[in-house]
Structure 1
Amino acid sequence: MRLAGGSIPVAEPVWSVDPRTGKQREQVGVEATAADVDAAVRAAHAARAALADRDARIALLRAAADELEADGERILAAADAETALGMGRLPGELARTTGQLRAFAAEVADGGYLDVIIDHADASLTPPRPDLRRYKIPLGVVAVYSASNFPLAFSVPGGDTASALAAGCPVVVKAHPDHPATSELAGAALRRAAARSGLPEDVVTVLHGFEAGVALVTHPLVAAAGFTGSVRGGRALFDAAAARPVPIPFYGELGSLNPVLVTEAAAAERAAEIGAGLAASMTLGTGQFCTKPGLVLAPAGGAGDELLNALTKKAGEAAHGVMLDGRMREAFLAGVAERAALDGVEAPVAAAGSEDRTVAAGVLTVDAARLAAEGPHDLLLEECFGPVTVLVRYAGAAEARAVLSRLPGNLTATLHLGAAEERGEGEGAALLSELTALAGRVLVNGWPTGVAVTPAQHHGGPYPATTSTSTSVGATAIERWLRPVTYQSAPPALLPPELRDENPLGLPRRVNGSREI
């Protein structure tokens, strides 16, 4: 926020920029001031009581999906113009976004997320048991920080917002600067949905600007935050959330290498297939997926060379792509160059930038021995956002395990096995166990790009993949915005409907140790 004449705050404009040209498209609005943030949070806080009605929340989530679809043509056009992600991908992302809104509506209708547990009083037990009734209640106002690489599914109308609203928490979204126009259109759709559902529009508010993001996480009425972005930015907000007089939970997704281990048997059986699949996965979306396989352990020589040949051929043939913004493009090219300059690192496919603002994919290779101990090659164990992967050539299982032991936490880890290993012969089970310690989703003979939005999904992992053990995708994402409370010996007339013996809401629950559906 600039000061005019040294004293009067002047609102900075918020521009929509075309990454294909680097030129400004339109002014979307202005950056929020501290007063704007305060007003938005207080309005959201005042809307909590209205969101307590489960039927109203169900109506809101379904109406939000309807409104996004109704304005889909404009939303998709803006998203493509601001992100260059293309109309081949974006309609699918809109469908994913509306699908998860409807999925959370179904979750609220089911009621199982409330985790109702009732233990009736029993004086015959030692010690005697009082009447205890437990369920979950919403935390309060949630701050959501949008992602750059998913202008819909992880941004204003995305999973953090959908799950928070489903939990009964109003949301204030800090829009990502890479797609402000898309954010405004999506935010307007959600506010229309709130009005249609008889709820205050302030159950969702969209704000812009760096200072707004800092002010949000420290506002005393914000009860929790969800973030998807860089390690540096996410860690700064995480630390700010923890340093508050009253710390709040901060659910951040910060970065991930998404390692892949290819066994010697797998390489011997299908080297060309694995190499081609890896190239397709690491270049998907110009390498800008949070689940991009960024480090691959493959056997040195023999079938490993065949795998590398297939990878380099397909990666070299991949179409050049435009990255989300110029800053990310420059960081990608600088990051690849810094890694390629390390001793023993080769670049069989050189990542490069073109005058048309596109980038070409890159492949780096290094011997596993250089990563077995701390040193300058540790840079290869950090995520490089964009279309590049590092192929680590190992000579024997001991070298592969030495590298695995040095990896940070990840969203995903992938294991490619041979046919006999799939049947339980050899070390398949042991390797799967080692990878399980590294990630929240472990794949066998597949590729991590693409995250199915289903109840069993887990999108999270050990730090720095995320700052918690929770997921940001799937039905259980709602758990982040709830806290349990138990009533002891409360008079029946004073109990919330969810905890009454007659179960007027028809909720699934556990009573005296037995499940009731």
Structure 2
Amino acid sequence: MDLTETSPSERAGLLNAIADELSGAADELIPQAMAETGLAEARLAGELKRTVVQLRMFADVCAEGEFLDVRIDEADPGFVLGPRPDLRRFNLPVGPVLVFAASNFPFAFSVAGGDTASALAAGCPVILKAHPGHPRLSALTAEKVRSALVKAGRPVETFEVIFDQNAAVRLLRDDRIAAAAFTGSFKVGRLLAGIAAGRERPIPFYGELGSVNPVVVTPGALAERADAIVSGFVAAVSGSAGQLCTKPGFLFLPEGHGLAQRLGSAADAVPSHPLLYEGIAAGYAERRAAVLATRSVSVLAEGAVETGPDGRSRAAPTLVEVGLDDLLEQRSTLLDEAFGPLSIVVRYDPDRPDLLVEAIGELFPGALTATVHRAAGENHAWLRGLVAVLRERVGRLLFDGWPTGVAVTPAMQHGGPYPATTAPATTSVGTAAIQRFLRPVTFQNCPPELLPAALRDDNPWRVPQRRAAAGDSLNWGSHSA
């Protein structure tokens, strides 16, 4: 199962082989995903494409070799602090990774999703716990991954899929597992994180636990494009029945916004959509009932949770409204994530925007995203203060858009301060995701014949090497003047 000695180009070949297998099997994979999840064909086709693109992106990361972060300090008897030995540092894969697949992205965050792609790119074998919401799709996707492994000349043991939750928990406690990644509920994520931390040899646990993703609309933005804000917000809340970790859970509008009827009508016009599986349906129904029963909440669109003719639970959007003071008072009931098409509109006093900034800092310690809608050219002290507060509490700060839709691209950050994730300095999307499954090691005065390929002077892997030549320390600081 060891991928440590595979060259970056060999890992790139493996990832491209997986991408090819998935692309070629679209006619098998997409219908199976539709049958198990209730998601639309267009949505799933786009998600499968995203998954393939993600694999190819990490193939390029491998081929470039920069992720190894090779640093070579030549032996220097004249080093400014005293003689320096020969030091050579690079990143090694951490070892076998246990991945817990998500329910809401049956391709992009499941069997061959971002966690699997980034772990394989790092050189780690993967054991994946399939999600019970789409077991047949998981088995079919795993078959395609194993086929790619054979074609790439890698042992099929490099990648394994398991389906039993108890077996996954036992593996999480197994000393051979070096790291774990999870996308799912706060409750389960906390339990698993506790197991990972409580081992005799604790391991890193990269858990995405949920997010409420606040959106703030300034009075200027409201005056400039109220209709676009209504349509964009309702689309973001109701898309995929709100079963997205980036769904906007709170929309802050200035008092007297006048959008209540438009918001309600737009939400009421959205047809019900299937929920992914009965566990999500039950959790959403319970959360929705708690919100609707909260004192001071007014209903803009009641929505519904019902059973369709196919026996699958379906949901239509629910929108409610409260004042900022009411949200502060009822935070214990209202602040939890509702994983489904429910969101809360919050009125704030436009004459005291400082109170809004203070409340947001208090209410939202950590989220995946936050969004600010401002008027064209709007730039004043309280807006800058709001941005300063939000950037400390989120992984992605958006302007004049909506947080649903996570671009698969190098600069993406999909992870935020706790409770959004258990490891706020990391991301599960974008090229930086590979860093979760690497650890640095330095070789000091190592004989050339024992050096790993990436650290050798002849550089057989042709990876970037950052060198500090003998004598350089005498000039440190001269370039900063």
TM-score by length of 1: 0.87
What is the rounded CA distance, in whole Å, between the counterparts of 1:290 and 1:119 in structure 2?
A: 44
Q: Name 2:431's counterpart in structure 1.
A: 475
Aligned partner of residue 178 in structure 2, secondary structure? strand
The answer on whether the counterparts of 2:263 and 2:300 sit within 8 Å (CA) in structure 1 is no
Q: Name 2:479's counterpart in structure 1.
A: none
1:305 aligns to 2:258 (yes or no): yes
Q: Structure 1 stretch 67-76 or stretch 195-204: which is displaced more?
A: 67-76
How big is each residue's C-alpha offset from its partner over 1:252-293, in whole Å with a ceiling of 9 and x where there is no partner? 000100111111211122122112110011111110011000
The answer on whether the counterparts of 1:363 and 1:391 sit within 8 Å (CA) in structure 2 is yes
Q: How does 1:239-278 map onto structure 2 within 5 Å?
A: 239-278=194-233
Q: Name 1:70's counterpart in structure 2.
A: 24
Give the deviation of 1:50 after TM superposition.
Answer: 7.2
The answer on whether the counterparts of 1:256 and 1:465 sit within 8 Å (CA) in structure 2 is yes
Give the deviation of 1:402 after TM superposition.
Answer: 3.1
What is the rounded CA distance, in whole Å, between the counterparts of 1:355 and 1:159 in structure 2?
A: 33
Q: Structure 1 stretch 160-169 or stretch 394-403: which is displaced more?
A: 394-403
1:103 aligns to 2:57 (yes or no): yes
Give the deviation of 1:510 after TM superposition.
Answer: 1.5
How big is each residue's C-alpha offset from its partner over 1:17-64, in whole Å with a ceiling of 9 and x where there is no partner? xxxxxxxxxxxxxxxxxxxxxxxxxxxxxx115763433322211111
Aligned partner of residue 435 in structure 2, secondary structure? helix
Give the deviation of 1:494 after TM superposition.
Answer: 1.9
1:61 aligns to 2:18 (yes or no): no
What is the rounded CA distance, in whole Å, between the counterparts of 2:402 and 2:385 in structure 1?
A: 20
What is the rounded CA distance, in whole Å, between the counterparts of 1:243 and 1:292 in structure 2?
A: 32
How big is each residue's C-alpha offset from its partner over 1:390-429, in whole Å with a ceiling of 9 and x where there is no partner? 01111131331232022131111101111231xx345333
Give the deviation of 1:487 after TM superposition.
Answer: 0.9
Letter in 1 for 2:132: P
What is the rounded CA distance, in whole Å, between the counterparts of 2:267 and 2:5 in structure 1?
A: 49
How big is each residue's C-alpha offset from its partner over 1:59-99, in whole Å with a ceiling of 9 and x where there is no partner? 21111111111221111111110000110200011101111
Q: Name 1:87's counterpart in structure 2.
A: 41
Letter in 2 for 1:436: R
1:509 aligns to 2:473 (yes or no): no
Q: How does 1:196-235 map onto structure 2 within 5 Å?
A: 196-235=151-190
Aligned length: 461
The answer on whether the counterparts of 2:409 and 2:431 sit within 8 Å (CA) in structure 1 is yes
The answer on whether the counterparts of 1:135 and 1:486 sit within 8 Å (CA) in structure 2 is yes
Letter in 2 for 1:403: A
Q: Name 1:323's counterpart in structure 2.
A: 275
The answer on whether the counterparts of 2:4 and 2:93 sit within 8 Å (CA) in structure 1 is no
What is the rounded CA distance, in whole Å, between the counterparts of 1:379 and 1:133 in structure 2?
A: 54
Aligned partner of residue 331 in structure 2, secondary structure? helix
How big is each residue's C-alpha offset from its partner over 1:104-140, in whole Å with a ceiling of 9 and x where there is no partner? 1111000000011111122222232221111000011
The answer on whether the counterparts of 1:321 and 1:359 sit within 8 Å (CA) in structure 2 is yes
Aligned partner of residue 88 in structure 1, secondary structure? helix
Aligned partner of residue 60 in structure 1, secondary structure? helix
Letter in 2 for 1:305: G
Q: Name 1:41's counterpart in structure 2.
A: none
Give the deviation of 1:503 after TM superposition.
Answer: 2.5
Q: Name 1:445's counterpart in structure 2.
A: 400
The answer on whether the counterparts of 1:365 and 1:391 sit within 8 Å (CA) in structure 2 is yes
What is the rounded CA distance, in whole Å, between the counterparts of 2:5 and 2:151 in structure 1?
A: 14
1:335 aligns to 2:287 (yes or no): yes
Aligned partner of residue 207 in structure 2, secondary structure? strand
Identity level (%): 45
What is the rounded CA distance, in whole Å, between the counterparts of 1:415 and 1:50 in structure 2?
A: 44
- Choose from 45, 54, 69 the match for 1:115: 69
The answer on whether the counterparts of 1:371 and 1:378 sit within 8 Å (CA) in structure 2 is no
What is the rounded CA distance, in whole Å, between the counterparts of 1:212 and 1:253 in structure 2?
A: 21
- Choose from 393, 408, 411 the match for 2:368: 411
Aligned partner of residue 427 in structure 1, secondary structure? helix
What is the rounded CA distance, in whole Å, between the counterparts of 1:49 and 1:347 in structure 2?
A: 55
What is the rounded CA distance, in whole Å, between the counterparts of 2:344 and 2:365 in structure 1?
A: 15
What is the rounded CA distance, in whole Å, between the counterparts of 2:321 and 2:465 in structure 1?
A: 54
Give the deviation of 1:492 after TM superposition.
Answer: 2.1
1:138 aligns to 2:90 (yes or no): no
- Choose from 289, 311, 315 the match for 1:359: 315
Extract unaligned runs of 5+ from structure 1: 1-46
Give the deviation of 1:371 after TM superposition.
Answer: 2.8
TM-score by length of 2: 0.93
Give the deviation of 1:444 after TM superposition.
Answer: 0.4
Q: Structure 1 stretch 247-256 or stretch 342-351: which is displaced more?
A: 342-351
C-alpha change, 1:49 and 1:384, in structure 2 (3 Å) is closer
The answer on whether the counterparts of 2:268 and 2:303 sit within 8 Å (CA) in structure 1 is no
- Choose from 129, 134, 137 the match for 1:182: 137
Letter in 2 for 1:56: E
Give the deviation of 1:508 after TM superposition.
Answer: 1.6
Give the deviation of 1:346 after TM superposition.
Answer: 1.0
Letter in 1 for 2:176: L
Q: Name 1:349's counterpart in structure 2.
A: 301
What is the rounded CA distance, in whole Å, between the counterparts of 1:330 and 1:193 in structure 2?
A: 38
Higher relative contact order (CA 8 A, sep 6+): 2
Give the deviation of 1:388 after TM superposition.
Answer: 0.8
Q: CA RMSD in A?
A: 1.5
What is the rounded CA distance, in whole Å, between the counterparts of 1:278 and 1:117 in structure 2?
A: 47
How big is each residue's C-alpha offset from its partner over 1:287-341, in whole Å with a ceiling of 9 and x where there is no partner? 001100001111111xx223x3332221111121010012211221221111111
The answer on whether the counterparts of 1:342 and 1:377 sit within 8 Å (CA) in structure 2 is no
- Choose from 423, 440, 444 the match for 1:488: 444
